[in-house]
Amino acid sequence: MPDPLSLPRLRAVTRPIDAPEDPLLLASAEDPLVWMRRGEGMIGSGAEVLRIDVGEDGRLEAIADVWRAISAAAEVDDAVRLPGTGLVAFGAFAFDETSLAPSTLIVPSIVVGRRGGRAWMTRISRMDGPEPAAPDPLAYGPHWSATLGPGELDPAGHTAAVAAALEAIAAGEVEKVVIARDIAGTLPADADLRRLVRALAEGYPDTWAYAVDGIIGASPETLVTVSGGTVTARVLAGTRPRGANADEDTAITAELATTAKDLDEHRYAVQSVLTALEPHTSALVAAEQPFTLKLPNVWHLATDVEGTLANGDSALDMVRALHPTAAVAGTPTTDAIAAIRRIEPFDRGRYAGPVGWVDGDGDGEWAIALRCAQIGAPEGAHRPVTAHAGGGIVAGSQPEAELLETRVKFRPIVDALA
């Protein structure tokens, strides 16, 4: 954890601008910094003003405390005053605190945002440094495609892993555990990664399209949003592939909304969020019954949760309280994490970890890093890429159906990489 006494003092100046036609053209081609949904959001550009990497137990607590100290010392001149203006950091955190992947906050020198018909640019610098120049648009590089194949847990291995999870459930070790599998490959070292972000944003406009420090995806699941003292979360658990037509979709959603296995899986996920938020809120509500959420490739059971923060906690404090939810780990959480470490043969890295942004007031939007790929540094002519997909295992889960669910969940990122 960085020494608070050694942290730099930052200056952030936000001014309105004309909305750029394509904000992605202002992002880095090899390492884009993006948070977008339905054409709104933010692009980070320019040099990193500050980077915080934490790779030890308690990392989320450390990052929340460091960011609080940085924000308190910063000088902010914000003429726009919208969510995402002023001092902003983008973040991507590891799923497991024992992971070799760091949990990272990045403050770029330029943030370009668009929300509610208004656009802005924030220039961020160190107090003793020059104000950064506005970025120039950079045309997209050539089209490219990745080469992908089985990872450390192939389909047969995934079936065995689900069986091991069912044994743990039958033994009373856990009530639910989320088991993932991986695919891996390479892409060209000079690939313009903004093309991957654009494909996901255009193909899945109702998800959060994100790119932070090499993890790129389109998440349907909001972990938490904090804005002006209100905290909201959307819980997704219980999944079916989309049907071929409207009649099939109607039958699928009716089954999803009434099947005990899916309702149990969803109930565990909702309860884990309510339990985590309750100590931090003075009022907290959630619908009694989930609704079915339609995405281009799947249906999910979904429940929205909303509360009033009681003690001035920030978005990072809420991320720390909520992660990992039962939707990506299981129930009870500690036992489910232990089972995942035992059953899965890989380090998830930042897959299923929190990804999003936080501002100087402690507000922010965070999703769970799903439908994503983790892209490594260039190695000669190529860059390594790994993607994960998983599902919640409860009593009654069928290994064949769980494997099919991972194939459906892989589709967004695999199609975009192709």
- Report the C-alpha gap between 234 and 239 in whole angstroms: 15
Side chain identity at residue 389, one-letter code: A
> Could you give the angle at the alpha carbon of 255 between the alpha carbons of 254 and 256, nearest 5°?
95
What's 193's DSSP letter? T
Contact 349, 374 (CB under 8 A): yes
Contact 369, 101 (CB under 8 A): no
- DSSP-derived 3-state class of residue 28: coil
Dig out the tokens for 110 from the structure: 């330029």
Q: Considering all CA atoms of the chain, what is the largest pairwise distance in Å, rounded to the nearest integer? A: 63
What's 243's DSSP letter? P
- Report the C-alpha gap between 223 and 212 in whole angstroms: 16
Q: Is 396 left (phi over 0), alpha (psi -120 to 50) or beta?
A: left
- Report the C-alpha gap between 320 and 324 in whole angstroms: 8
> Which residues are within 8 A (CB) of 309 and not within 5 positions of it... i.e. 6 or more apart?
226, 229, 230, 231, 280, 281, 282
Strand partners, 103: 54
> Which residues are within 8 A (CB) of 242 and not within 5 positions of it... i.e. 6 or more apart?
249, 252, 294, 295, 296, 297, 298, 299
Q: How many CA atoms lie within 13 A of 277 on its CB side?
A: 30
Closest alpha carbon to 87 in 362, 283, 359, 336: 359
**What are the residue numbers of the active site?**
176, 221
Tracing tokens 């069912």 back to the chain, one arrives at 166
Dig out the tokens for 351 from the structure: 């897959």
